[in-house]
């Protein structure tokens, strides 16, 4: 549940503040006991569904449902007149019936010729489902099809008059629902648009500034990449539509698989997993099936370095593996001696190593080949977490240096937007010996005989967004992709150099360089001035920036990844904000500013907190709101001040107001 519960906390001024409850402790603290991953929660889809309810409200939804049901009832009555017999059972939008083994395929084919897909559930047995886009004309068309002629001996009006659209009492809902005011206020397009824009304006997004989240790259989602998502040829295909109707769609998958295979050096790709974490799950299942196939099903130990992303141990546990932690050395690299000892100790039972490259410390580990060799010597498989592929595309390939399986976050490296929670795509690539075990899908006949079965409901996952990554790769080409990787690495190193004196860069490779991201150490700041990571993160909002990844993978640090998408000017602007904040902290350190009542501890500053009668703080309102010159021209105003995280986690009761309160208002 963490990351899925929206709870009510309060901000520094005591105003209510909504926040995701329990999320901070989930991956940072619980690690292998973690149960969820925020990115994977497909929040965006839930938000869209919620907006459907906001727009239609309880009455509107009921009207839609009633219409669907009454059209289905008319269809059922018509079919009965045409002597198709159906079991007399309650239905909502779907009716199923036996039509005879010889007629079924004929009907399905005739329907297809008229642009309708009927579902042949099993030989002789057909299902028809209607929705709110099905018109009475569609129902008539269907009935004519089943009648086998162009005219019907009855009219739809006749049928409508005689059907009973009431639900049997046992399934009928009597209670109220969607009573919150939000579902009862925005029922015109204008109102909904304003409501959405109001929510959007609270959000510090890429439209305002860079979002330099380490390992969770938020790069440019180019309009040209996004455009084809809106084409019905991709967006409106049912995952189980007949193969003959989806040739272009499948060609796109094939090309994307080939390209991703080329980029990573793998022989087979499965586009089924919907997120990186699901890719981890799929990949580990593939490894498990491989061991089982070789009669080594007791290989269940999974080695994972201490620095791993929280999803790694969580996925391993979910696959029934036992996690053994491998130490990291002072430079943040895997401690190879410890790895060897653990691999030796668990040799008989070693299933896999999960490793991120470049590491979550933002460094290209020079021991990567040796690490993979050690695992292979002991009969294990190497699972590579490919979330940091943005540092490799065109320069090196996991398949070449020893990985057996790797997931790619198409919603990081390959441009699918993931702000606000997906939808993501986490395809996996595998070496030839693992291809037979890649996920399959019974409904469309996907996969080899030994496949691990489906790991998603749809054979190609969130297929409609694959066009985004296809467009990205197609438009960039090999040279462009390689250039992008180089610029991403250059930008991260530029930032690391710019910030190093003010905030020491925690991990560097032997060359003194970082990969595509850098971790800056804020612990000295806490020691010297009592300024914490949170204070800097919140103060960045006053400067108009989204905070980098906080306290991960090391507590008290920030992980920054600029990516190739940010211009030098934007990178400079971010560095200047960080350096200015360091100066503000220095004032606290020297005693020039109060230890508690200062711009950092009180950040972020809302307009409401600034435009109040009696301003009591020892710094000016200008210092609070306009610490940098550019802000006068383009200021992002936060809507809540500092949120009380602990209070929010301890008070998990979300009390939604009822309709009564709304009516009074
Ligand atoms: C983002 C990320 C994941 C998880 O991917 P999701 O798509 O969010 O499930 C795993 N490992 C690393 C290193 C990541 O950055």
For 562-628, what is the HEC assignment?
A: CCCCCCHHHHHHHHHHHHHHHHHHHHHHHCCCCCCCCCCCCCCCCHHHHCCCCCCCCCCHHHHHCCC
Express each pLDDT in 540-551 by its tens digit.
999 999 999 988
Q: For residue 655, what are the contacts with CB-CB under 8 A and spacing of at least 6?
A: 8
Indicate whether 84 and 140 sit together in one domain: yes
Specify the pLDDT at position 662.
47
> How many angstroms does the Cα of residue 596 sit away from the middle of ligand 1?
36
Domain boundary among the residues 104, 127, 162 is at 162
Mean local confidence (pLDDT), 399-426:
89
Distance CA(476)–CA(415), nearest Å, equals: 12
Q: How far is the CA of 643 from the centre of ligand 1 (A)?
A: 26
Q: Quick one: 441 and 301 in the same domain?
A: yes
Q: Are residues 410 and 485 in the same domain?
A: no
* Burial annotation 465-485 (CB, 10 A radius, 16+ → b, else e): bbbbbbbbbeebeeeebeebb
pLDDT exceeds 50 at position 665 = no
Q: Do 295 and 436 share a domain, yes or no?
A: yes
Mean pLDDT within 81-90: 88
Residue nearest to atom 4 of ligand 1 (CA): 276
Q: How far is the CA of 391 from the centre of ligand 1 (A)?
A: 15
**What separation in Å is there between the alpha carbon of 277 and the centre of ligand 1?**
6
Decide if 438 contacts 451 (C-beta within 8 A): yes
Q: Is any atom of ligand 1 closer than 6 Å to the C-beta of 24?
A: no
**Residue range 361-370: mean pLDDT, rounded:** 93
Regarding the beta carbon of 134 and ligand 1, being less than 6 Å apart is answered: no
Same domain, 280 and 392: yes
Question: Which residue, 461, 492, 511, sits at the end of a domain?
Answer: 461
**Does residue 391 have a cis peptide bond before it, meaning omega lies within 30 degrees of 0?**
no
Q: Is 48 helix (H, G, I), strand (E, B) or coil?
A: helix
State how many domains the chain has: 3
- Stated as kind and residue range, the H or E segment containing 648 is helix 645-650
Residue of the CA atom closest to atom 5 of ligand 1: 276
- Evaluate whether 302 touches 352 at the Cβ level (below 8 Å): yes
Q: Tell me, what's the pLDDT at 433? A: 98
Choose which residue among 28, 39, 456, 549 to substitute to test ligand 1 binding: the one with the highest number of ligand atoms within 8 A of its C-beta. Answer: 39
pLDDT above 80: residue 43: no
Cβ of 40 below 6 Å from ligand 1? yes
Burial of 129 (0-12, 13-18, 19+ CB in 10 A): middle
Give 249 Cα–ligand 1 centroid separation in angstroms.
27
With a 6 Å cutoff on the Cβ, whether 407 touches ligand 1 is no
Bigger pLDDT: 574 vs 648: 574
301-305 and 350-356: which strand pairing? Answer: parallel
For residue 637, what are its two tokens? Answer: 């105003």
The pLDDT value given to residue 567: 96
With a cut of 70, say whether residue 654 has pLDDT above it. Answer: no
Q: Which atom of ligand 1 is nearest to the CA of 356?
A: 13
The mean per-residue pLDDT over the stretch 575-591 comes to 98
Distance CA 516, CA 289 (A): 34
Q: Would the CB of 276 count as within 6 Å of ligand 1?
A: yes
Cα(537) to centroid(ligand 1), Å: 22
Does the pTM of the predicted model rise above 0.75? Answer: yes
- Residue 321: inside a domain, yes or no? yes
Instruction: Give the model's confidence band at 656: pLDDT under 50 very low, under 70 low, under 90 confident, else very high.
Output: low
The whole-angstrom separation of Cα 281 and Cα 315 is 5
Do residues 526 and 633 share a domain?
A: yes
327 CA distance to ligand 1 middle (Å): 21
pLDDT at 206: 87
What are 233-282's pLDDT values in tens digits?
Answer: 888 899 999 889 999 989 999 999 999 999 999 999 999 999 898 999 99
Q: Which atom of ligand 1 is nearest to the CA of 308?
A: 13
Same domain, 457 and 504: no
Residue with the nearest Cα to atom 6 of ligand 1? 276
Q: Is residue 472 part of a domain?
A: no
Extract the tokens encoding 610. 């600034």
Token code pair at residue 61 = 């939804």
What is the CATH classification number for the domain harbouring 579?
A: 3.90.1150.10
Per-residue confidence band for 226, with pLDDT thresholds at 50, 70 and 90: very high
Residue nearest atom 2 of ligand 1, based on CA coordinates = 387
The answer to the question of residue 118 being in a domain is yes
Q: What is the DSSP letter of 637?
A: P
602 CB neighbour count, 10 Å cutoff: 20
Quick check: 331 and 296 in contact, CB under 8 A?
no
The Cα–Cα gap between 304 and 323 comes to 7
Distance 387 CA to ligand 1 centre (A): 6
Task: Give whole-number Cα distances, 530 to 99, 522, 616, 626, in Å.
Answer: 76, 10, 22, 23
Distance 202 CA to ligand 1 centre (A): 26
Q: For residues 624 and 599, is the Cβ–Cβ distance under 8 A?
A: yes
**DSSP bridge pairs for 356:** 385
Which ligand 1 atom is at minimum distance from the Cα of 411?
7
Contacts 24+ apart (CB under 8 A), 140-143: 141/114, 141/116, 142/75, 142/111, 142/116, 143/75, 143/78, 143/79, 143/82
Could you tell me the sign of the dihedral formed by the alpha carbons of 571, 576, 582, 584, in that order?
negative
The alpha-carbon radius of gyration of the chain (Å, integer) is 29
Q: Residue 70: is it exposed, middle or buried by C-beta count within 10 angstroms (0-12/13-18/19+)?
A: middle
Share above pLDDT 70 across residues of the chain, in percent, rounded to a whole number: 94
Is residue 83 scored above 70 in pLDDT?
yes
Distance CA 232, CA 59 (A): 29
Does the beta carbon of 491 sit less than 6 angstroms from any atom of ligand 1?
A: no
b/e per residue 97-106 (b: at least 16 CB within 10 A): bbbeeebbee
C-alpha 418 to ligand 1 mean position (Å): 11
pLDDT at residue 164, as a whole number: 87
Distance CA 563, CA 39 (A): 19
Average pLDDT, the chain: 92
CA distance 224 to 216: 22
Query: Residue 638 has what DSSP assignment?
Result: P
* Closest CA to ligand 1's atom 3: 276
Average pLDDT over residues 48-61: 95
Question: For 54-63, 68-77, 104-113, 310-319, which range has the lowest pLDDT when averaged over its residues?
Answer: 310-319
Tell me which residue of 493, 612, 609, 614 sits closest to 541, measured CA to CA.
609
Residue 29 pLDDT > 80, yes or no?
no
Domain annotation covers residue 233:
no
Q: Is the CB of 252 under 6 A from ligand 1?
A: no
> In terms of domains, do 324 and 403 share one?
yes
How many angstroms does the Cα of residue 3 sit away from the middle of ligand 1?
Answer: 15
Low-confidence winner among 329-333, 445-449, 658-662 (lowest mean pLDDT): 658-662
Q: How far is CA 192 from the centre of its chain?
A: 25
Interhelix angle 136-147/103-113, rounded to 10 degrees, is 140
Question: Residue whose CA is closest, atom 15 of ligand 1?
Answer: 215
Angle at 519 between CA 367 and CA 265, to 5 degrees: 40
**CATH at 367:** 3.40.640.10
Task: Please tell me the predicted confidence (pLDDT) of residue 647.
Answer: 87
Confirm or reject: Cβ of 360 under 6 Å from ligand 1. yes
Asked if residue 642 has its Cβ within 6 Å of ligand 1, the reply is: no
User: Do 345 and 457 belong together in one domain?
Assistant: yes
Average pLDDT over residues 52-65: 96
Is the Cβ atom of 215 under 6 angstroms away from ligand 1?
Answer: yes
Distance CA 176, CA 228 (A): 40
pLDDT surpassing 80 at residue 36: no
Q: What percent of the chain has pLDDT over 90?
A: 76
Residue range 58-73: average pLDDT?
A: 96
Angle between helices 276-293 and 311-318 (to 10 degrees): 40
Is 553 in contact with 214 (CB distance < 8 Å)? Answer: no
Q: Residues 402-413: what's their mean pLDDT?
A: 96
Q: How far is the CA of 73 from the centre of ligand 1 (A)?
A: 46
**Which two tokens mark 466?**
């694959």
Mean pLDDT (whole number) for 102-114 = 95
Output the residue whose Cα is nearest ligand 1's atom 7: 276
Strand duo 301-305 + 518-521: pairing: unpaired
User: What is the atom index within ligand 1 of the atom nearest the CA of 360?
Assistant: 13
Over range 27-31, report the average pLDDT.
Answer: 62
In a domain? residue 292: yes
Average pLDDT over every residue of 160-175 = 88
Between CA 2 and CA 35 the distance in angstroms is: 8
CA of 463 to the centre of ligand 1 (A): 19
Q: Write out the H or E segment, with its range, that includes residue 354.
A: strand 350-356
Quickly list DSSP for 179-244.
-SGGGGT--SHHHHHHHHHHHHTT---TTTS---BTTS------HHHHGGGGSHHHHT--TT--GG
- What mean pLDDT do residues 627-644 have? 94
Omega cis (within 30) before 553: yes
Distance (angstroms) between ligand 1 centre and the Cα of 388 equals 9
What is the number of other CB atoms lying within 10 angstroms of the CB of residue 510? 10
**Same domain, residue pair 531 and 587:** yes
Instruction: Say if 229 falls within a structural domain.
Output: no
- Residue-wise pLDDT for 493-512, tens only, equals 999 999 999 999 999 998 99
Measured in whole angstroms, how far is the alpha carbon of residue 525 from the centre of its chain? 33
Instruction: Tell whether ligand 1 has an atom less than 6 A from the beta carbon of residue 275.
Output: yes
Domain of residue 438: give its range: 250-461
Please tell me the chain's helix, strand, coil percentages from 3-state DSSP, rounded to the nearest 5. 45, 10, 45
Is 532 inside a domain boundary? yes
Under 8 Å between Cβ of 614 and 644: no
Q: What's the 35 CA to ligand 1 centre distance in angstroms?
A: 14
On whether both 383 and 438 belong to a single domain, the answer is yes
383 and 491 both lie in a single domain: no
**Rounded Cα gap, residues 193 and 338, in angstroms:** 57
Q: Indicate whether 652 belongs to any domain.
A: no
């Amino acid at each position: 549940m963490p990351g899925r519960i929206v709870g009510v906390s309060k901000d520094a001024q005591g105003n209510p503040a909504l926040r995701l409850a329990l999320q901070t402790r989930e991956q940072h603290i619980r690690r292998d006991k973690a149960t969820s991953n925020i990115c994977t929660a497909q929040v965006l889809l839930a938000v869209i569904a919620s907006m459907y309810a906001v727009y239609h409200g309880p009455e509107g939804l009921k009207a839609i449902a009633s219409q669907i049901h009454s059209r289905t009832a008319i269809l059922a009555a018509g079919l009965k007149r045409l002597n198709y017999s159906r079991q007399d059972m309650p239905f909502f939008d779907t009716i199923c019936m036996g039509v005879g083994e010889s007629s079924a395929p004929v009907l399905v084919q005739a329907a297809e010729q008229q642009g309708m897909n009927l579902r042949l559930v099993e030989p002789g047995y057909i299902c028809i489902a209607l929705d709110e886009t099905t018109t009475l004309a569609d129902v008539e068309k269907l009935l004519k099809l089943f009648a086998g002629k162009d005219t019907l001996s009855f009219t739809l009006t006749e049928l409508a008059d005689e059907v009973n659209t009431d639900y049997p009492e046992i399934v009928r809902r009597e209670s109220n629902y969607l009573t919150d005011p939000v579902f009862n206020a925005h029922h015109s397009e204008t109102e909904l648009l304003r409501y959405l824009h109001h929510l959007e304006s609270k959000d510090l997004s890429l439209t305002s500034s860079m979002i330099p989240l380490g390992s969770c790259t938020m790069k440019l989602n180019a309009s040209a990449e996004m455009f084809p998502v809106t084409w019905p040829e991709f967006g409106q295909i049912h995952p189980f539509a007949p193969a003959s109707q989806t040739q272009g769609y499948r060609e796109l998958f094939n090309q994307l698989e080939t390209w991703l295979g080329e980029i990573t050096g793998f022989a087979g790709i499965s586009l089924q997993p919907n997120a990186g974490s699901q890719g981890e799950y799929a990949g580990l299942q593939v490894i498990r099936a491989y061991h089982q196939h070789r009669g080594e099903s007791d290989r269940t130990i999974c080695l994972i370095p201490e620095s791993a992303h929280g999803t790694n141990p969580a996925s391993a546990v979910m696959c029934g593996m036992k996690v053994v932690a491998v130490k990291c050395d002072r430079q943040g690299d895997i401690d190879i001696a410890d790895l060897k000892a653990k691999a030796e100790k668990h040799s008989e039972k070693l299933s896999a190593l999960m490793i991120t490259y470049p590491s979550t410390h933002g460094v290209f580990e020079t021991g990567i080949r040796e690490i993979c060799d050690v695992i292979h010597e002991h009969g294990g498989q190497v699972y590579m977490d490919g979330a940091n592929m943005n540092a490799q595309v065109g320069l090196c390939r996991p398949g070449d240096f020893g990985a057996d399986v790797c997931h790619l976050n198409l919603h990081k490296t390959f441009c699918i937007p993931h702000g606000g929670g997906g939808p993501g795509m986490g395809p996996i690539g595998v070496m030839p010996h693992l291809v037979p075990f890649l996920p399959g899908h019974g409904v469309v006949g996907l996969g080899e005989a030994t496949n691990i079965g489906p790991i998603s409901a749809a054979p190609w996952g969130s297929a409609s967004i694959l066009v985004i990554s296809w467009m990205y790769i197609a438009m960039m080409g090999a040279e462009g992709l390689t250039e992008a990787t180089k610029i991403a690495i250059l930008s991260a190193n530029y930032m690391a150099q710019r910030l190093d004196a003010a905030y020491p860069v925690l991990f560097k490779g032997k060359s003194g360089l970082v990969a595509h991201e850098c971790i800056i150490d804020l612990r000295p700041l806490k020691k010297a001035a009592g300024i914490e990571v949170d204070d800097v993160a919140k103060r960045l909002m006053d400067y108009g920036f989204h905070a980098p990844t906080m306290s991960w993978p090391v507590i008290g640090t920030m992980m920054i990844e600029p990516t190739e998408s940010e211009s030098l000017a934007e990178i400079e602007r971010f560095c200047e904000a960080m350096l200015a904040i360091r100066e503000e902290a220095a004032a606290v350190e020297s005693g020039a500013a109060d230890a508690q009542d200062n711009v950092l501890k009180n950040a972020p500053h809302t307009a409401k907190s600034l435009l109040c009668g009696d301003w009591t703080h020892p710094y000016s309102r200008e210092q609070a709101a306009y610490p940098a010159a550019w802000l006068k021209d383009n200021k992002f105003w936060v809507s809540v001040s500092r949120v009380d995280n602990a209070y929010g986690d301890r008070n998990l009761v979300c009390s939604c107001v009822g309709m009564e309160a709304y009516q009074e208002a």
